[in-house]
Every structure is written in C-alpha cells, then in structure tokens.
Amino acid sequence: MQAPGSRARAYSRFKTALFVLLAWNTGVFVYSGTFSEGLDSIAWLVLLALFELETGAAAPRKQTAVIHAARFVAAIAIPVAAVGYVLDREWLDTVNSVLWIAVVAVLEFQVRFRSAAARYRALCTLVATVLYAGLGAVALIWLWRADWFSAYDALLWLLAFVTIEINVLQVLRAQSATARAAAAGF
C-alpha cells in the first residue's frame, strides 16, 4: 500500500503529464487544425490551468488581476470558437463545446459558491456525471469515425477535468468538516 505522500506525488505527476500532453495537443491544433480548433484548445488549456490554480493544493487565497484577465479572455474565446464550429458545420465539435461550457458552468458554481455547492453536492455531482457521460459519448463517436486524434484529445480533456472535479470535491469535503467541527464547538 502506498503512503499518502507517495500517492500525492504520483497524482501530481499524473496531472503534470496531462497538462504536458494537452499543451502538445494544443500546439498540434494551432499548427495544423482550423482556426476554431486552435482557439478552442488554447482557451480550454488556459481555463484548465486557472481551475487547477484555484482548486489545487497550492490554491491562492485571492484572485489576481492576471487570473481575472486570463479568465475573461478565455471566456470570450470559447464561444467564439463554438460559433466557428457552427459556421463550419462541425456539429460534433459544436456539441462537444456546448457540453464543455456546461461543465465549466457547474465547476464555476462549485468554485465560486462553495457553501451552496456543498449543500447541493449530490445535485452538482449528478449534473457533472451526466455532462461527462455526454462528453464520453462524443469521444466514442470520434473513435467510431476513426478520428483517432480527436478521440485521444477528448479522453485527455475528460481526465484533466475529472482531476479538477476531484480537487473541488476535496475542497468541499474539507469545508464541510470544518463547518461541522465549528458547529460542534471544536
């Protein structure tokens, strides 16, 4: 059985590997994909990094202007890329974008309104599960179509955002435990 510190290091290395692979994929999309694919990939990579900063073990206590600016730019780029998919009649990419936007809405709720998210944790988990299942279905369709790179990329994104969900759940559990201890007078 692994020691807790060893598991934490392995998990940290796993997340680092995901980021490196996603950064590589972003480069591929920027270099050889459509404008929408490159923009979409850059914006999602920025959002993923911001979520990791806000929910990970080294999460800052308050947001800086740089984080706000990066979030704003990514928040503009993602719907622009989604509109590009619609204009290019890339319907599977469009569905994928809409599902990811919904996932981020749930994550934003969990990160920004932590006490409400703790109260509605079961509902948030159910909604996230349904959205991730939809994203998994999109990945399977890409696989069925033999669009190997898109399927592989979709799998990486699913894994990466599941790590963010794990971070959020850990934060919510810690807050619940702290609130219970405070209520019990400890």
Output the pLDDT for position 63. Answer: 66
| Chain centroid to CA 91 | 21
Q: What are the φ and ψ backbone dihedral angles of 34, each rounded to 5 degrees?
A: -75, 170
Cα 33 to Cα 118, 149, 170, distances in angstroms? 40, 11, 36
**What is the amino acid identity at position 46?**
V
CB 136 within 8 Å of CB 171: no
Question: pTM for the full model?
Answer: 0.80
Output the pLDDT for position 141. Answer: 97
pLDDT, tens digit, for every residue of 147-183? 999 999 999 999 998 888 787 777 667 766 776 777 7
Structural domain that includes position 20: 4-173
Q: Is residue 185 part of a domain?
A: no
Q: Is residue 181 part of a domain?
A: no
The number of folded domains in the chain is 1
pLDDT band at 88 (very low <50, low <70, confident <90, very high): very high
pLDDT, tens digit, for every residue of 47-85? 989 888 877 765 555 667 888 889 899 989 999 999 999
Which residues in the chain belong to E strands, given as ranges?
none
